[in-house]
Each structure stands twice: as structure tokens, then as C-alpha cells.
Structure 1
Amino acid sequence: MACYGVNGLNAEIQQAIKELSELEEIIFCFDNDQAGRTGESEYATLFASLYPHVKITGIPVLVKDVNDDLIQTTHIDTYISLVLENRHPLLQETAVPKAKTSTPSTEPQTEELTNNLSFLQQPQVIERLNQLIGKAGIVGEANSRMLLFLITLSYLNKSPLHALVQGSSGSGKTHIINRIADLMPQEDVLRFTRITESSLYNWGEFDLFQKVIVIEDLDGLKEDALYALREFISNQVLRSSVTIKDKKGNNKSSHKIVKGQFSSLSATTKGETYEDNMSRSFLIAVDESAGQTAKIINYQNRRNAGEIDPNESRKAIGFIQKVVRGLKVYEVINPYATKLHLPDKVHKIRRLNEMYQAVIKQVTFLNQFQRQLTKDNQLITEIEDIEQATEILFESIVLKVDELDGSLRQFFERLKKYVKKDHQDFMQREIRQEFNISKTQLQRYINSLLELEYIHQIGGYANKGIKYKISYWDNHHKFRVEIKDHLMNQIQQLK
């Protein structure tokens, strides 16, 4: 039924609703403005008191109102399905009070995970959620897994983010992105092993709207497919001229549009190659250290010994999905944005600054039940959000300072320790045996370090082995400390 404006749900309409003896759900579709949101809130409260057992929801409007949306689409059936599938409960969204300070609970027990709304209303949401992500099967790498979760969660917002998870072959990068994607509502997740050159152009106009896309092997994509993906990431839309047949069988040209508001997770062995061409993409290195390997093996052994209940993992995943469904989409305002500055040493500082601000907004978004709203219904960032975002994003910031990518940096730090401990020159064979890595992978590392002039050849023979020495003994630890101090001092000044 059509109301006469947001104030026009009159007595006649209300009487008609009362006469529906089998009423199950009331769905609102008001304008996408302050008046529309206020009307939704007021009527949701009214009908909740009149019909306590009726579900009350609202559907997302992309532009000003549903008529404008329909004008802009050539696939009306697809549009209607989209908005109905994405309708959201209104009752839990009408009031988002700032939570009272209370003593935080200890690590959440899976048997207590029954109320996602209560979970979001309690303090320390980020920390408790990160513990649940660990229970869901992602071992270690606490900051990286939380960053990946925040990036993936951005599919709900107007400016989604993207992650390139980089690591050597067999490092577990595909496992990580798939487990993170498991935490999202599965009706919103699309997983691809490969993408053909023209396939992204052939989706329906809204098929990729508010979705999570997982690409298990970015290195296997051909250039045309990569170009389409870059366009989606940069502009959120693909426009193409296609040939179709009319009713008489004649060919004619047509304009096809695919809108792509989605976040993405991609696995790659050479992340920097793609990162340079993809705006809003975060490069995240898999931790390939011996310590992380020990954690993974210990988890695998405990699981195989029956010490880890698989039901605990399933319950954690299901609960996190409910938490995601319980979030309301807000715009975020950061009143401290002009006072935040990254270190001058950071490469591509303009792009990283935008990403830094985006992660702060994502942390605020996840803390929405702890935050105040502006008069325009926007979430307000607090210093705690900045502090949490800085901690979570720190490794990615360090990667931007470093000209070595994540796995190459980890290898070079191991190499420096080995060479310093034993002798100054080295050969590939001894490094391959000491570090237990493949010949192909080691050759990639050596070639990259030679090209960047971190090592050089000092002799040897091709048939007996080439000898190398380290040319540049950089102090990576010092860099890390300087960056951390810069960011933390900045936050202390805000406090």
C-alpha cells in the first residue's frame, strides 16, 4: 500500500492492516533521506506495540526513492529480488544507545552465543570478536585476521575495500581468505577459482551489489579479467556495448551496465604487482615464520586428537554471521581526521592515508552500539577507534614503508640472521637446505634481492654454485619502532 508521504499512514490504511488475520511481516520502503528514516523508526515502534508477533523490516533504497532506482535499472525483476533479499529488521536499528561502561567479560564462551544484539552492545567488541575468529579456525595472526574481517565487512558500505593476501606457495593464503569469507552471511558470498575474460561483464545489473567476492588464485587471471576487476574496484561499475537480437532476429547494439559494490579477497604470490593497479586494495602478507607454523601444526594435531570440538568452530562461524546481519549501515564521521598523519617515509602515502581513514571508519562501524550519532544519523569516531585501527593496520603500514614485499622481507630477515651467525657469504644450496624451501621459490627471492641490490654475487661457478654476499644491512626493526612511535605519539596527543 502507498502511504501519503512519511506522515500519511492514515487511519484507513491502519484499519486495512488490522483486518489482515494472517499478517506475518510489514515491510517499509520510504525515501532514502532523514524524513524517510525517521518515519520508518516511528512506524516501526507503533506497529511493534500493536502487533508484537509481526516481523517489521525495511528495504534498502540506493538513490533517493524506489522510483529513481527503477528508472536506473533495465532489470526490474532482478532489482525487486535484490531489495527483498536485503531487507533488514527495523526494531533493533531504531535506537543505538551509547553503552554504559561496565567490566568487560572474559573470552566469550560459544554456549553463551545466543544474542548477537547483546554481543554488539557490550564493550570491547573488536577484541571479543577476534577471539571468536580464532575459534572459527584461523590460528594466530590476530591483527591480520581482524583487518581481513574489517575489509570483508565493508561490502555493506558505499565504499567497499579489497584485500590481496600475499604469500609463497603452500603458505595457507587460500585457507585464510576462505575462512574469513565463511564468517559473512553465505548468501552474500561468491567464490571463484578462475574468472574468464568477459564473465564479469555478463552479470545482471545488481548481481554483484553488496557481495563478497573471493578469488582463490589471482595469478591465474588473464589481463582482460584483471582489467574488469580493476574497473570494478575503482569505479564500482562496468559499462559495455553489446550486440543483441531484436524480436525480428536483427542485430542491434545495446548498453549493458553491471554495478559492483562488493569487497574482495584475493590470494596471490606477487601481491605488489596487482596492488599498484588496484586502488583501495590492501596488501597483507601471510606470516610464514617458524612460530606461526608451530601454532598451525599444534592446532592441526589437537584437532586430529579430538581435543578441539568441530561444533565449537561451526557455532562460532554461525554466531559471527548473525552479528554481521545485526549491523546497521551508517555513514561515519571522524572528527579527528585532520589531525592524523602517516610517517613521511611511507611509499604511496596518498593512497595509504585514504586506506587508514577507511579502516578507522570500519572499526567505528563495528563499534556502532558504543558510539554516538550526529543529528544526521552518522556515527562519530572516537579515539579508541583510531587506536584499534592503528594496531590492526600496523603491519600493512610497515609494508608500505618497505620496498620488499611481505614474504621477501620475512626471507631476508631470516637470511641476515643466518649469515651473521655463521659466515658472510652463502650459496643457494645451503640456504635451501637450512630454510627448507623449494628451489623455485628460493630463486625468486634471490633474483628479487639481486635486482634491488640487497645482495650481490662474489664468485663461484654455475656448475658448482654461485656465492653471494649481503650488500645492504638495513635495520628493519628500527623502522618498525619509529613508525609505531610516530603513530602512538599522535594518538596520545589526541587524548
Structure 2
Amino acid sequence: MEEYRLQQLRYTGKSPQQAFSPSEEDRRQAVRFLSGKNLSGSLTEQLNTIGILGEDRNALILFLALASHKSANPFSVLCLAKSGIGKSYILQKLSECMPDGSFSFHSRISANALYYFDSGDINGKVLFVEDLEWTTQMLQPLATLQTQGRLVNTRATKDKDGMLHSTTFEVVARLCLIACAYSDKNFEELGLPFLCLHLNHSPAQDLAVMEYQKKCRAGQIRTEDIARAQHLLKCVIASLQNISVVNPYATLINLPQDIAYPRKSLLLLLNFIEAITFFFQYQRERLTDTDAGEIFIRTHPQDIEMAFALLKNTLFRRADELSTSVRGFYKWLTEYLQQAKTTQFTALDIRKTKPIHPRTLNRYLQELKLFSYIQVAGGNKHREGFIYKLTDFGNQKEVQGRIEQEMQATLKDVWNAYHKEQNPPTEPEQKAESEQEPSTGLSAESPQKPSKRKRIDDKEEYTLKLLLELEARSPDREYIPADFTTLTGRSQITEARYLKRLWQQGKLKREWKNRQYYYTLAATGSKTVSQSPMTDPQTVL
């Protein structure tokens, strides 16, 4: 009896869950659903039916991540938003679409609890966390488990005699994390191996959610339709098979140069492409590896195109130096000033129009001033407050345009490679190409793409072009890197590097004063400026 009681206390709170097994008819409907032409549109309709409104793109990404828990490389997503936006509501709705026994739902997990998990509780399952602590102690073990697939924790414990000895706890699992966190910080600084989504908190989204709540209370939403959609999505996930995915176009996928943390960003993009291919497995051709005898599916260019379309905003966010909340405030501020037909404002003017806490507003203004998006135009700190005005530095259209162009170029290369595989050259064409190729020499190599050095030279020429335009307006003036950041949208470090290279080429002169270099345009008929670096006055003892 005592052993039975101890065993019951040990397993308190753990009730066995029966695995979900759809019937043959349900499985046929799920396979028919997965084989449909407009699969993404049908999936969005079902997600709207269960009550996820206004988050079509984010909900589609989250459901694709849920489906990837059955694959060999699961995909994890973190939802970032303020309190009251509906993070827990979305997780609850998504968990209701999961088959029983395929997920583990937690309201909160402490920082050290993950080290003592049973591997069977999270291996091959979805780990839902409603409120994830946005701390390094919490995020570090999650990132380690995501990248390495295991956690090993060794700590000192006491035995029954009170003697200390080391005990090792190991957790081995393929992590598929779907969690929500409250964060106002820029998550790019952490370089997490998770895809971070920012939920929609616009006024239009608030109206749509409130309208849906009214319909629910008025009985206009049929619970039968919701239950039918949830059952269909459960059968869809249960019908997916664990099959390997091969992406033959991975070598052609390049990230835009403006994206921060390119290593982890590229890995996230490749993993998400595999998750899309895994979900579309009933629409992809199944091939067999003759050496290993393994069945696999190949990534289609449509999967890559869909991944770029869904992650475009996320890639834009990774190229943004501002946090999400400050970027939203800056967008509202520009629209407000355009409507007011003015270029200057004070903190009191903003508080009269937009309800915002004074400390929050002060933090937003300080961050915008730090990154040169606004500058002080007058006023007094101790009286009426500072008067601010916008600068031209906040225009992100050029950065977004470059990212869009590089993404389209990557998609074009992928589609060209796909069409070349589908329509291989005939024998006469191959023979003619072989006759035209020389037997020896460097010219037999395929043409190379423009090197990075050439692209940098183009940017240097663009900086020189802007400098000549400024010189035409005010001759014989001095220039610093900050004069070009507002025009090009690049950082001061980048512009300083380009100006230094123009000086090394003899096109500019420079002089050290006031703890920085001042550049002037070299005379046309003068000799080339010496390329030996000048001595820094601060380094001379």
C-alpha cells in the first residue's frame, strides 16, 4: 500500500492521453484536402472558421510550424506582442486543432524546468508555452535544445548520507516550440534560432475581433462549423507522414545583404522552406535514393516562393535597427505630421492626440533621437519641453527596395534552374556547345557572378556621386560620414569605410580634427593624395 501511494504521488498531475487515430473516411478527406490546388487558401479559410481573424499570414506560418513536428527537422515560432493582444487566445485555438497526445501545453515554464523534462514528454511533440520569460536564462536552453537537440545539465546533489556528488540530467528531444512572450526589445540583438512573429495590434484588428466577439455572444457563430473545422485540421496533421525533404535549390538561395545575422537568418529560411515542402508532401513527387533505399520528396520552386512571400515582413524586420514598437510609433508620427501639415512637434502635442504613457513616449523619442530619426529643433527641457523635427534618415523604402530586388533575383535563378531540369538541352545543342568550348584555358569556365568587391565599388561610386552633387551646391566644404547617412540610409561606419577608400584612391583629401576625419574633394589637376594613413593625434604620446 505504501509503494502504491508513493507511486501515485510521483505521477500526480499526469494523466495518460490516448493517441488520435482518424477513421478511413476522415483520412481520405484529409488527403483530398492536402492534395487540393489552393491548399494555402483552404487552410486560411479553416483557420478563420475556428476563430483566428486578421492574422492570416501569421496563422499560416504557425500552422505550418505545428505540422513540422512530425518531420525530422521541426520548426519553432515565438509570438511577440504586448499584453491584451490575444497571444494566449491564438495558442489555445491552435492547440485545439492538434491531435491528442501530439502536444504538451504549459501556461508557464521556469528557467530551470526545461533541464528536468522527461524526453518522452516533448520529443516529437509540440511544446506550447503561453507566457515565456523573455530572459537569457530562459531563452538559452531553448536555443540549445533547438540547435543541438539535447540538453545536458550536471549539478551537485546530496545522497541519503548527506554527501555531495555530481548528477547529470539529460534531455534529448526534437523541439517544436510554439510560445508567446511579451517583449518591447529588438529580438535581433539576441540572434535566436526561432522565427519571431509580431502579432497584429492595429485598430482595424481590434474592430474585427470585437465584431467576432459580438457575433459569438449573439449566437451567430455556429459551434458545429468550428468543431468540424477543428476535426478536419486534426485529421490533416495526423495524415502527414514522416518523410525526408531534399532541397536541390538550396545553393541558389541567397539572403539580402541588409539582413542582420545572416547565418541564423539563412538557416531559418531554409528550415521554413523544408516545413512548407513537408506540408505539401501529397503534391510533391516521391523519389527513392538508390544507395540508401530511402524515399524522399524534393522542394518545388513554389515552396521557395511561398516562403519568401510569408517571411517578407520578417526579413524586413531583421533589416530594421528600430524595435517593433518604436517603428510603429514612428510610422504613426509621420502620418500625424502629414495630416497636421507641420514638420515640428513636442511631446505634449503627441500626448494630446495619442494616449501614451509619458515614460513610454520619452523612451520612444530617445530611441528615435539615438538613431537620428528625429533631432532637437529648439525648446527648453525645464520649461515647455524640447521641439523635435523629423529627418530624412527614417525612409526605409530604399532598403525595402533592395531586399525586394534581391529576393526576386533569387527566385528567378531558382525558376531558371527548375526549367532547365524540366527541359534539358537536346543532343545537337549539347554537341554544338561542346564544339564551341575551347579545350584548355580559363575561358572555358562558366561566367562568374559579379563579385562582392564590384558591388562595393558601385556603392563607393554612389557615395562619390552624392559628394559631387553636394559640392556643386556649396563648393570647398568639408564632409563627414553623417552627411551621407541621411541620403543613403546606410550606417555611419559603412559610409566612413567608403570615404576612406575614396581617399585611398586619391579622389578625396582628409584632415583629423575634433576627434574625427573631415574629407574634402581633391583638386582636379593636383597629384594623387598619398595613400599612407595619417597619424592619429590621440595615439601620439
When normalised by structure 2's length, the TM-score is 0.65
Q: Look up the match of 2:279.
A: 366
Deviation at 1:363, TM superposition (A): 1.0
Partners of 1:232 and 1:298 in 2: CA distance: 41
Matching residue within 379, 384, 399 for 2:317: 399
Q: Look up the match of 1:308.
A: 221
Partners of 2:52 and 2:126 in 1: CA distance: 19
Q: Look up the match of 2:333.
A: 415
1:431 aligns with 2:350: yes
Deviation at 1:328, TM superposition (A): 0.5
1:338 aligns with 2:251: yes
Identity %: 24
Conserved 8 A contact 2:72-2:242: no
State the secondary structure of the residue aligned to 1:187.
coil
Between 1 and 2, higher relative CO (CA 8 Å, sep ≥ 6) is seen in 1
Partners of 1:489 and 1:414 in 2: CA distance: 32
State the secondary structure of the residue aligned to 1:300.
helix
Q: Look up the match of 1:145.
A: 59
* CA 436–312 in structure 1, closer or farther in 2 if over 3 Å, else same: farther
Alignment of 1:271-350 (within 5 A): 274-277=187-190, 279-350=192-263
Deviation at 1:275, TM superposition (A): 4.9
* CA 179–447 in structure 1, closer or farther in 2 if over 3 Å, else same: farther
Partners of 2:325 and 2:278 in 1: CA distance: 31
Conserved 8 A contact 1:206-1:258: no
Conserved 8 A contact 1:155-1:211: yes
Deviation at 1:485, TM superposition (A): 3.9
Q: Look up the match of 2:129.
A: 215
Conserved 8 A contact 2:243-2:295: yes
Partners of 2:86 and 2:326 in 1: CA distance: 16
Partners of 1:325 and 1:229 in 2: CA distance: 26
Q: How many residue pairs were aligned? A: 394
* CA 354–225 in structure 1, closer or farther in 2 if over 3 Å, else same: closer
The more displaced of 460-469 and 190-199 is 460-469
Conserved 8 A contact 1:272-1:283: no
Q: Look up the match of 2:389.
A: 469
Partners of 1:472 and 1:333 in 2: CA distance: 45
Partners of 1:188 and 1:135 in 2: CA distance: 22
Deviation at 1:309, TM superposition (A): 1.9
Q: Look up the match of 2:495.
A: none
* CA 330–303 in structure 1, closer or farther in 2 if over 3 Å, else same: same
* CA 386–271 in structure 1, closer or farther in 2 if over 3 Å, else same: farther
1:123 aligns with 2:41: no
Q: Look up the match of 1:171.
A: 85
Conserved 8 A contact 2:186-2:324: no
State the secondary structure of the residue aligned to 2:79.
strand
Partners of 1:161 and 1:142 in 2: CA distance: 18
* Amino acid in structure 2 at the alignment position of 1:454: Y
Deviation at 1:371, TM superposition (A): 0.4
The more displaced of 277-286 and 131-140 is 277-286
Matching residue within 286, 295, 299 for 1:377: 295
* CA 225–189 in structure 1, closer or farther in 2 if over 3 Å, else same: same
Partners of 1:432 and 1:478 in 2: CA distance: 31
The more displaced of 238-247 and 394-403 is 238-247
Conserved 8 A contact 1:288-1:410: no
Q: Look up the match of 2:167.
A: 254
Conserved 8 A contact 1:164-1:284: yes
1:161 aligns with 2:80: no
Partners of 2:30 and 2:215 in 1: CA distance: 29
Partners of 1:174 and 1:450 in 2: CA distance: 34
Deviation at 1:251, TM superposition (A): 5.9
Conserved 8 A contact 1:167-1:406: no
Structure 2, unpaired ranges of 5+: 1-10, 289-293, 416-541
* CA 417–359 in structure 1, closer or farther in 2 if over 3 Å, else same: same
Q: Look up the match of 1:190.
A: 104
Deviation at 1:481, TM superposition (A): 4.2
Deviation at 1:445, TM superposition (A): 2.5
Structure number with greater Rg is 2
Conserved 8 A contact 1:166-1:407: no
Q: Look up the match of 1:355.
A: 268
Partners of 1:491 and 1:409 in 2: CA distance: 29
Deviations along 1:58-117, whole A, 9 cap, x unmatched? xxxxxxxxxxxxxxxxxxxx9xx9xx977989x99xxxxxxxxxxxxxxxxxxx998212
Q: Look up the match of 2:502.
A: none
Conserved 8 A contact 2:35-2:283: yes
Q: Look up the match of 1:228.
A: 141
* CA 172–407 in structure 1, closer or farther in 2 if over 3 Å, else same: farther
Deviation at 1:327, TM superposition (A): 0.4
Structure 1, unpaired ranges of 5+: 1-77, 93-111
Superposed CA RMSD:
3.3
Deviation at 1:464, TM superposition (A): 4.1
Deviations along 1:140-190, whole A, 9 cap, x unmatched? 232222112222333222332222222233333333344334332343333
* CA 252–474 in structure 1, closer or farther in 2 if over 3 Å, else same: closer
State the secondary structure of the residue aligned to 2:122.
coil
State the secondary structure of the residue aligned to 1:190.
strand
The more displaced of 443-452 and 125-134 is 443-452
Conserved 8 A contact 1:275-1:283: no
